[in-house]
Amino acid sequence: MNPGTILVADFETNWGNKSMKSNTVNIAVIGLGGRGHGMMCTLLAMDDVRIVGLCDVYPDRVERSAKAVEEVYGKAPFTSQNYHDILAREDVDGVLITTCWQMHLRIAIDAMNAGKYVASEVGGACSIDECWELVRTSRRTGKPCMLLENCCYGREELALLNMVKQGLFGEMIHCRCGYEHDLRDEVAMGHINRHYRLDNYMHRNGDVYPTHGAVPMGKILNVNRGNRFISLVSMATKARGLNEWSAKHMPADNEVQGYPFAQGDVVTTMIKCAHGETLVLTHDTTLPRPYSRGGYVQGTKGVWMEENRGIMLEGETEPHVWSAFDPILQKYEHPIWKWYQEAGIQGGHGGMDYLVLRAYVESVQAQTDTPIDVYDFATYAAITPLSENSIATGSMPQPFPDFTNGGYLVREPERCWKYSLSEVCRDF
């Protein structure tokens, strides 16, 4: 099938033609490691959600999560070690995919083919082909597919989005972001802890985890709704961090000792946008450092930097110097964060997990598309294989696929609602 044969506008009209029989959303969780179990527990606290199915390849994980569900409902959910058993059930409205990165898109494709609303945890794709298959499947089935990028609902990210939409930064010019997090112990002990991340570092060299910074910045840059990524260049440093950490902390006979890791310690990716903006991503997880998403937003009227919690805005702050961001943050607090704080709701990662899951649940209830949709999913997942290709070819530029098939030029902003990320809705 030629991916350019179906227009976005044609595709989007397919949604909303099926009404929910009940306000309650029946969800199955596929993947019950630490992240999956935690997200399941967040859903368990929602009175309009029912966990009806659980799946993991490890029986002990299934047992632990099933026990938590039974404690809340008084009845155990359906369980299986084979996700196809979950997808075959008619009582499942949507599936939450929290497995290893390599399986996210494959399960999402199978779930949409089974008629389910999809929500998937983050991570990069294995190939551009599977990104196209993801989009084609969503178009063909009419089933939305949401990338659960919780950082889009972070307090600072939402405030910046609010400020950008009000024009305080002027015309957007340049952004920086990334995932900068000391994960040496988690990666090196991956197989011991039945964690998937290690395999990627052993065999891949690219930005394997691009979304925490890239998706919020992409929303600021209107990617896939008026703008798009057109090309990418990546480079990687040598790999030393995991070897040094392992030599100090791991048994001498462990598989990671002296292993020639493919993944460079620092991967830098530069992306050019159709409207002339640039975006720089950094992946830095195998060296000692404090946590940062490396946020930086620069326009014709001002600039913000995460790491110094500083901002300068013409007409708002003193020129030529960094001003404290916190007072500006409070002044331009996003409406959804005000609501969240006033409601006194609690959720993982400072509330981001709760908000992104509510965006998904309420999309299923309304039978509408999701705020981080299938085009976003494919676009940001594609950064990983494109960065691999660029590094493998001596940092050659890679053309970025347009998963909207030109639709980004004519797509309207998403509907104005509480969880919108292309507009700031103030009436809810």
| Residue intervals in the chain for CATH 3.30.360.10 | 152-337+374-409
Q: What is the pLDDT of residues 317-355, one digit of tens each?
A: 999 999 999 999 999 999 999 888 887 666 677 789 999
What is the distance between the alpha carbons of residues 91 and 334, in angstroms, rounded to a whole number? 36
Segment (H or E) for 161 = helix 155-165
Cα angle, residue 158 at apex, residues 229 and 384 outer, rounded to 5° = 35
Which CATH class, in words, describes the domain spanning 152-337+374-409?
alpha beta
> Is the pLDDT confidence value at 380 over 70?
yes
Q: What is the pLDDT of residues 229-238, one digit of tens each?
A: 999 999 999 9
What is the distance between the alpha carbons of residues 156 and 329, in angstroms, rounded to a whole number? 7
Residues of the chain above pLDDT 90, percent: 89
pLDDT for the residue 340: 86
pLDDT for the residue 351: 86
Burial of 326 (0-12, 13-18, 19+ CB in 10 A): exposed
pLDDT category of residue 19 using cuts at 50, 70 and 90: very low
pLDDT category of residue 175 using cuts at 50, 70 and 90: very high
What is the distance between the alpha carbons of residues 13 and 169, in angstroms, rounded to a whole number? 34
> Is the pLDDT confidence value at 17 over 80?
no
pLDDT for the residue 132: 98
pLDDT category of residue 137 using cuts at 50, 70 and 90: very high
What's the mean pLDDT in 9-36? Answer: 68
CATH for 8-150 is: 3.40.50.720
Burial of 167 (0-12, 13-18, 19+ CB in 10 A): exposed
Identify the CA nearest to 138 among candidates 306, 307, 323, 377.
377
| Residue intervals in the chain for CATH 3.40.50.720 | 8-150
Q: What is the pLDDT of residues 205-245, one digit of tens each?
A: 999 999 999 999 999 999 999 999 999 999 999 999 999 99
